[in-house]
A and B are shown apart, each in its own frame.
Chain A
Amino acid sequence: KNEVEQSPQNLTAQEGEFITINCSYSVGISALHWLQQHPGGGIVSLFMLSSGKKKHGRLIATINIQEKHSSLHITASHPRDSAVYICAVPSNFGNEKLTFGTGTRLTIIP
């Protein structure tokens, strides 16, 4: 079964700072998901990626399949980016069942 570790668990930064959140996993995968959960809110899919890099607005996700590691970057962070960011990977390669990290709680101070 895939083991997922996210770091840091908590991150507080000033508005405008560049943010990096990391995710490592133990078993080779077909794709990795990044999700966002606002306080008291639902969960939204940000990215699903299997190689390289994807960009959406100020958010960038990268993955290194060989090193079993992914990063989520936020450029020019804003208070509305404050949320919990969660990565998820298949429990086993080619499996649709997902294993989730415990999340990174990001707080952006104005």
Chain B
Amino acid sequence: NAGVTQTPKFQVLKTGQSMTLQCAQDMNHEYMSWYRQDPGMGLRLIHYSVGAGITDQGEVPNGYNVSRSTTEDFPLRLLSAAPSQTSVYFCASSQQASPLHFGNGTRLTVT
């Protein structure tokens, strides 16, 4: 039981490049979400899913896309990377009204 697996751990992009951050969970959780963590700020919700085929925007969705084709996977796509997207990204999963399980994070730098 691996829990929540995020890849890659580190990534450097040039402005304008695109990439996908991967998130997979093996706990059959309904809820999955992506957050970004910036210095001096709390974790902020980017996108959210309550089940396969259902996604919703969070607090800071601009510049990011998600899809949820299976229960297990919830990839986050950066369409055209910008320096403002330099951050640490966390994926999390849970059942309804249950504790969160986080991935180990992806440290992204956009130059």
B101 at the interface (CB under 8 A from A): yes
B104 lies within 8 A of A96 (CB): no
B103 at the interface (CB under 8 A from A): yes
Which partner residue on chain A sits nearest B42 by CB separation?
A100
User: How many A-B residue pairs lie within 8 Å, measured between CB atoms?
Assistant: 57
A43-B102, A45-B101, A48-B98 known; A86 and B43 CB under 8 Å? yes
Which partner residue on chain B sits nearest A102 by CB separation?
B42
Residues of B in contact, count (CB < 8 Å): 26
CA distance A97 to B97 in the complex (A): 11
Interface-forming stretch among B17-25, B44-52, B66-74?
B44-52
A63 at the interface (CB under 8 A from B): no
CA distance A98 to B43 in the complex (A): 9
* Chain B interface (Cβ < 8 Å from any Cβ of A): 31, 33, 35, 40-45, 48, 50, 56, 58, 90, 92, 94, 96-105
